[in-house]
Structures are given as C-alpha cells and as structure tokens.
C-alpha cells in the first residue's frame, strides 16, 4: 500500500515539537538558481563516448555538445529562454523539448511544427517555460536512430522555491544495445521488434556511463531526478534498504507519496523526482535494482555510503511538498469526452486487426504499420499534412479515455499539455498526478483530463520509439 508521507510529522510528535532539538536536523536551502553559465548553444554531432567506463572500448555515438548525455539545460520558470541548435549530423534533425508547455512552433516536430534542421544549419528555439520541474530534450527526426545513438539531455526548470535537500541529483538513465566490440548494434527499425516490445538494449547507463556506485552519506536527504531516456526499456526501480518518496511526476509536483511496493515505475520518456533520506549504515552499499522484466532483474547502480558518521541523527523536518505549477484545472462536469484506442502488435489480436484497418484510413507507409490509434496508423517522426484525429476549441476541458487493446506496454505522450490522470481501470488515481507521458499496461484503460489551451497541432504517440515509427501516433488539434 502506498501511504501519504508523514514521517516528519510523527517525528515532530515524538520529539514533543521541541524547536531547538529540531534545529540540529534542519537543512540549509540549496541556491535556488544555477550559478554556472547556461549552455544555450547545442550542437548535434557524432563523437565517441566511453559508456562502459575505464578499461572498456569507446563507442561511436551521436551527442549534443559531444557529451553523453547532452548538457543539462537549466532554465528559470517564467523567464524567456533562447537555445540555438546546430546540426552537425549528416541527416536532418530537430529538437523536441519533452513535457514543456511551449508554443507549437517551438515543439520540434518535423513537417508538423517546423521544417527539419538540415545538416550544418541551425534553428533557434525560443520559449518561456511556465512550469518548474524535470524535463528532457531529444530529436524528433529519425528518432529511433538519433535517440538510440545518444542524442538526449535533461532540462531542469528551476523552482522559485525548491524543496530543501542536501543534494539535488539528476540520473538520466539510458539503454543501449551494444555489440561485444562496444559499438552500437545495427538493425534499428527491426519489424518484428517493432510489433513487440521495441528495441530494448543490453546496457543501461546512468548519466552516460555504466555506474558501479554513486556516493552517499549517512543522514543525507537527496532529491533524485530520474529520467528514463530509453528507446523502449520500461524500468521499475527499487532502492534496497531505502524508502523513496515521489514528489513530482513528469516535472509536475504531486502529493508526496511512497510508490506502491517501493517500486518506482518509469516508462520511456517519463521523469520521476524522488526524495530519499539516506538512513543506511556508513560504509555499506545498497543496490538500486530494476526488476521490471520478469527474470531479467539487474542493478543500475549502488548507493555507496562513505565511512563518515551520519550527518544528522534524524531525517530532517523540512516538508517535501513542491509548489504546484500554474496548470489550468479542467472542469470535469462539462468536459468533452473522447476515446483513443491503442491497437495492433503481436499476440493481441493485433496484426489482423491492423490489416483490417487498412480500409479505415491508413496514413503514411502502410507496410511499416504494426500499430494504430482509433484505426489509423501514422508512421514516422512527424510530417506535414497529418490529419488530426480530434479537434478541440481552445479553452475546452477534455476528458480522454485511453484504452490499450494490445498485449504490450505503451508510454503515451501528448505534446504541449500536461494531463491530470483521473483513473486507471476505473480506480481513481490518487496524489494528483499530472503527466505528459502515461504508462499503459496491457489492457489498461486510463482516463486523463486537461484543458486544450495551447493552440496548434499536437502529436500524441507512444514513446516506445519503434511503436511510434510503426503507427502508434496521432495528432490532436487545438483551434
Ligand atoms: Cu519525447 Cu514526440 O516525444
Ligand atoms: Cu507503444
């Protein structure tokens, strides 16, 4: 059972609310603003990276500013940002600022929202992020290969009042399929895989390298911004001996809560911010285990405590709740209601179903389609002239029911908006979770709500990139 996090309160009770006692466990706020200069020019180019660490071969990758992951873009909430992207690849690219509610023309979808950035050209992205939180950026052109070869980075929009912790850490997790020589395996867009789980790799990196351990200090309170930058790998992270508290999902603050069974479920493209009080023993190591796939559990890293005595006797008393972002509250009573049904794939009455949909309006390269939404398969990364599946008047409240008729998991991402997750399989979803990427288990039905307040044509697609490429994509229009 998940519980509302209440330890600080009960501890306060135990201590008889003795303010002077509590002083010993107070935290000093971290500086609210980055002091380092903001990196505002981003160059996509081939380079080499040592993903597996010292003593292992380098890998040919494609990277932003020659680092894996790309530079963390730190922005300030409500302050205009200008980011120049230069393309030094030998193919077109774009950058999508995943999860940020920005003007349509800055959304980075080739054909639909901007012309692709040609080799040796640049494009200037300008927007003012309304929401603080953890976001990320990645290409939206030849996405399978460009993301699969390393093009990804985090965006941190800083809170005006951050939650008080000793360290604020980012773990950008990525999944690679490497050969025994350490090169990225060929075979992007394998059709069989595309109709199944997608390209799940064999090497998971944390901030660009395989991680043996991450330093920890007993008594510390850390904030961990988890980003799943994988093409296809779903993760379920357990922190041995620790109790993470989720404070934000997809950048949006939620009611602080412990995840069900202590497992942090992180679909591709999702972000989860957790706060952990490091209550382990000095000198010990604790594994961070991903056991999402049955029988294929592995550890992502270990929390390695140094030998120092705990820096405080008790977890700090500071509250964990983040300030909410200015998200417009949908009016559920008079919302428009629509359904989007996810169809196709192997073993789900799928391929036959998609075949049967050919007459029902296949778009794009029909032969590559393995998936569909409401009987339509839009394939690729985005292109001009995509016909919207639904059109909303600006300002309307919308309740969408997403139905997964397939036998596979799908992290469904909607551009330009955040969606309040209302229910899953008829059970209300607690903790007020706003998401831009909703992970759907096989056969799940999830109800989400939002105000269609951002004009433009917005993509909605599965973030298992093989699924997106093979038809699990559509467009919603706000007029
Ligand atoms: Cu992060 Cu259209 O995607
Ligand atoms: Cu999918």
3-state SS, the chain, equals CCCECCHHHHHHHHCCCCHHHHHCCCCCCCCCCCCCCCCCEEEEEEEEECCCCCCCCCEEEEEECCECCCCCEEEECCCCEEEEEEECCCCCECCEEECCCCCHHHCCCECCCECCECCCCEEEEEECCCCCEEEEEECCCCHHHHHHCCCCEEEEEECCCCCCCCEEEEEEEEEECECCCCCECCCCCCHHHHCCCCCCCCEEEECCECCCCEEECCCCEEEEEEEECCCCCCEEEEECCCCCEEEEECCEEEEEECCHHHEEEECCCCEEEEEEECCCCCCCEEEEEECCCCCCCEEEEEEEECCCCCCCCCCCCCCCCCCCCCCCCCCCCCCEEEEEEEEECCCCCHHHHHHHHHHHCCCCCHHHCCEEECCECCCCCCCCCCCCCEEECCCEEEEEEEEECCCCCEEEEECCCCEEEEEECCEECCCCCEECEEEECCCCEEEEEEEECCCEEEEEEECCHHHHHCCCEEEEEEC
Q: Is 467 in the pocket of ligand 1 (CB under 6 A)?
A: no
Q: Whole-angstrom Cα distance, residue 53 to residue 24? A: 39
Q: Please tell me the predicted confidence (pLDDT) of residue 363.
A: 40
Q: Please tell me the predicted confidence (pLDDT) of residue 231.
A: 98
**Residues 235-281: pLDDT tens digits?**
999 999 999 999 999 999 999 999 999 999 999 999 999 999 999 99
Question: Which stretches of the chain drop beneath a pLDDT of 70?
Answer: 1-39, 348-367
Q: Whole-angstrom Cα distance, residue 445 to residue 377? A: 20
Q: Please tell me the predicted confidence (pLDDT) of residue 384.
A: 86
Q: Is 413 in the pocket of ligand 1 (CB under 6 A)?
A: yes
Q: Is 417 in the pocket of ligand 1 (CB under 6 A)?
A: no
24 CA from centroid of ligand 2 (Å) = 49
- Nearest residue to 251 via CA among 418, 125, 413, 400: 418
Which residues, 6 or more positions from 426, have their beta carbon under 8 angstroms from its beta carbon? 445
Q: Is 223 in the pocket of ligand 1 (CB under 6 A)?
A: no
Residue-level length of the chain: 479
Residue pair 273/189 in contact by the 8 Å Cβ criterion: no
Q: Whose CA is nearest to atom 3 of ligand 1?
A: 98
Q: Which ligand is nearest to the CA of 441?
A: 2
Q: Is 98 in the pocket of ligand 1 (CB under 6 A)?
A: yes
Q: Whose CA is nearest to atom 1 of ligand 1?
A: 98
Q: Is 96 in the pocket of ligand 1 (CB under 6 A)?
A: yes
Residue pair 245/256 in contact by the 8 Å Cβ criterion: yes
Q: Please tell me the predicted confidence (pLDDT) of residue 26.
A: 52
Q: Is 459 in the pocket of ligand 1 (CB under 6 A)?
A: yes
17 CA from centroid of ligand 1 (Å) = 47
Residue 80: CB atoms within 10 A of its CB come to 10
Which residues, 6 or more positions from 167, have their beta carbon under 8 angstroms from its beta carbon? 30, 220, 222, 223
Residue 449: CB atoms within 10 A of its CB come to 20
Q: Please tell me the predicted confidence (pLDDT) of residue 260.
A: 94
Which residues, 6 or more positions from 287, have their beta carbon under 8 angstroms from its beta carbon? 240, 299, 301, 302
Q: Is 269 in the pocket of ligand 1 (CB under 6 A)?
A: yes
State pTM to two decimals: 0.90
Residue pair 385/409 in contact by the 8 Å Cβ criterion: no
Q: Which residues surround ligand 2, an ion (CB under 5 A)?
A: 410, 462, 464, 467
Q: Which ligand is nearest to the CA of 459?
A: 1
100 CA from centroid of ligand 1 (Å) = 11
Q: Please tell me the predicted confidence (pLDDT) of residue 123.
A: 97
User: Which is the closest atom of ligand 1 to the Cα of 138?
Assistant: 1
433 CA from centroid of ligand 1 (Å) = 19
User: Which is the closest atom of ligand 1 to the Cα of 98?
Assistant: 1
């Amino acid at each position: 059972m998940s519980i509302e996090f209440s330890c600080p309160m009960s501890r306060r009770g135990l201590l008889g609310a003795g303010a002077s006692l509590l002083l010993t466990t107070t935290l000093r706020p971290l500086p609210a603003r980055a002091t380092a200069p903001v990196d505002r020019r981003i160059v996509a180019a081939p380079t080499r990276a040592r993903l597996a660490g010292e003593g292992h071969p380098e890998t040919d990758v494609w990277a932003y500013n020659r680092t894996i992951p790309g530079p963390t873009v730190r922005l300030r909430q409500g302050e205009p940002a200008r980011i120049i992207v230069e393309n030094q690849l030998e193919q077109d690219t774009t950058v999508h600022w995943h999860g940020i509610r920005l003007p349509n023309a800055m959304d980075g979808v080739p054909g639909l929202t901007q012309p692709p950035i040609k080799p040796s050209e640049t494009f200037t992205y300008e927007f003012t992020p309304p929401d603080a939180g953890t976001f990320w950026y990645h290409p939206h052109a030849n996405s399978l290969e460009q993301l699969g070869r390393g093009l990804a980075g985090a965006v941190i929009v800083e809170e005006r009042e951050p939650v008080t912790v000793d360290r604020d850490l980012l773990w950008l997790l990525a999944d690679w399929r490497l050969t025994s020589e350490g090169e990225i395996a060929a075979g992007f867009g394998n059709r069989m895989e595309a109709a199944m789980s997608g390209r799940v790799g064999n090497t998971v990196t944390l901030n660009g390298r395989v991680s043996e351990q991450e330093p920890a200090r007993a008594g510390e309170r850390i904030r961990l911004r988890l980003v799943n930058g994988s093409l296809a790998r779903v993760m379920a992270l357990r922190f041995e001996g620790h109790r993470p508290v989720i404070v934000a999902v997809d950048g949006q603050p939620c009611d602080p809560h412990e995840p069900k069974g202590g497992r942090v479920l992180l679909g591709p493209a999702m972000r989860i911010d957790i706060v952990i009080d490091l209550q382990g023993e000095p000198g010990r190591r604790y594994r961070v285990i991903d056991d999402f796939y049955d029988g294929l559990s592995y550890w992502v890293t270990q929390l390695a405590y140094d030998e120092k005595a705990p820096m405080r006797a008790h977890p700090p008393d500071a509250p964990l709740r983040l300030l909410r972002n200015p998200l417009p509250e949908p009016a559920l009573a008079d919302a428009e209601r629509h359904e989007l049904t996810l169809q196709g794939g192997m073993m789900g009455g799928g391929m036959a179903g998609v075949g049967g949909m050919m007459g029902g309006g296949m778009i794009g390269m029909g032969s590559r389609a393995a998936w569909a939404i409401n009987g339509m398969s839009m394939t690729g990364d985005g292109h001009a002239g995509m016909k919207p599946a639904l059109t909303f008047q600006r300002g309307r409240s919308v309740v969408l029911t997403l139905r997964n008729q397939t036998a596979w998991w799908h992290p469904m991402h909607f551009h330009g908006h955040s969606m309040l997750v209302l229910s899953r399989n008829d059970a209300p979803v607690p903790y007020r979770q706003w998401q831009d990427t909703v992970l759907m288990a096989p056969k799940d039905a999830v109800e989400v709500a939002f105000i269609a307040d951002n004009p433009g044509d917005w993509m909605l697609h599965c973030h298992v990139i093989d699924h997106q490429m093979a038809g699990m994509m559509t467009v919603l229009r706000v007029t």
